[in-house]
Structure 1
């Protein structure tokens, strides 16, 4: 596979946040990680199954032919049922992969099944290196779509998912999303991912408001084991 073009350096201006906001954001992250760690495994499993079933029954999911997903790990709400259903229904499944050539950036990769995954940084499952990806540097203007070559180079896929499911440490009732602090999703989402964005989390990760930064990207829907919110 040819070497992808060097992505521009992008840095989220963390230092520009007031100290009290930085502390509040870190407090939320610590609190949510603790709540997830204290959740009994069998309860996390049943809650994950309930949330995934809500999505599987949702017309927006059922009508989608191309979906951006992620592999849930480290106490996140599981996505294995969604991935299995998407592949079984022959949806195009886009999964994130960290860009080793561009710190802080990730790309999305069309992945055809679990056999095309391998352990990535911090133990996260990612698409194998042989599969081509679509990075945020390809979105130069609002609404522009980047084309990703297929593995054999004979065809192209447009990165144009009908729906995108996003992880997060916490979400709020206005659609605010607080990530893990690396900024990977915020850098990608700010470019041109214009499909419906769905935050996927446990009900206890949903709060009334979050100490958000100007660069924090929002979602249109939130799905938990108890409900789907349209925001």
Structure 2
């Protein structure tokens, strides 16, 4: 039996799971984001990490503001992504507060150009957004490969996929050689290790 190529299947999954994400009302997003933040802040690997990286959320993604502010209050070095001009590449850039962020590409906020770039090797824990995740650590993003390329260089970092429970597939995602697996999956319901 012929199977469709992995990128075609990923495209179909993106449509289905983006629809689920976009259907969530703002009050649910606020409530579930708080639950996610509470779980991460109680996670021993987060507590021990001194250099952490957070994604900057789109409106329908789990919001990271609470986690970022808590990490800053705890004295951690906090990084967020800044997209490079080269397609598919991003840097981890240090921030000292959310007030310095400005509009960037794809409707995402980003730090100003003068902020310090942090080497991926220094990052101890990274939160990773996505469209679809599975319990084995598989992830589908938007298809540009920003996180897969970045995570390949951030070899020390504990990789925590962050999503709503409605974005977790009930069967494994087909993987490609460049796909980087998550080590933990964090939703409003749980924080669990992935089982490859």
Q: What TM-score do the two structures reach when normalised by structure 1?
A: 0.78
Map 1:57-206; keep pairs closer than 5 Å.
Answer: 57-100=42-85, 102-134=86-118, 146=119, 159-206=121-168
* CA deviation after TM superposition for structure 1 residue 204, in Å: 1.1
Offset of residue 28 of structure 1: 0.8
Q: Shift of the alpha carbon at 1:223?
A: 0.7
Which runs of 5 or more residues in structure 2 are unaligned?
none
Quote the Cα distance in structure 2 between the aligned partners of 1:201 and 1:84: 19
Runs of 4+ in structure 1 off by over 6 angstroms are none
**Equivalent residue, structure 2, for 1:154:** none
* Alignment CA distance shift 1:194-1:46 (3 Å): same
* C-alpha contact (below 8 Å) 1:199/1:222 kept by paired residues: yes
2:176 corresponds to: 213
Distance 2:83 2:57 in 1: 15
Is the 1:29–1:169 Cα contact (8 Å) retained in structure 2? yes
The gaps in structure 1 that reach 5 residues or longer are: 1-17, 135-145, 147-157
Query: What SS class does the counterpart of residue 122 from structure 2 fall into?
Result: coil
Match of 1:24 in 2: 9
SS at match of 2:15: helix
Number of residue equivalences: 191
Structure showing greater radius of gyration is 1
Distance 1:106 1:212 in 2: 22
Cα distance in 1 for residues equivalent to 2:100 and 2:29: 26
> For the Cα contact (< 8 Å) 1:87–1:112, is it kept in 2?
yes
Measured against aligned partners, the alpha-carbon deviations of 1:49-84 in whole angstroms (never above 9, x if no partner) come to: 111111111111122211011111141111111011
TM-score, reference length from structure 2? 0.91
Q: Per-residue CA shift, 1:3-62, capped at 9, x if unaligned? A: xxxxxxxxxxxxxxx744222101111111101111111112111111111111111112
Are 1:37 and 2:31 matched, yes or no?
no
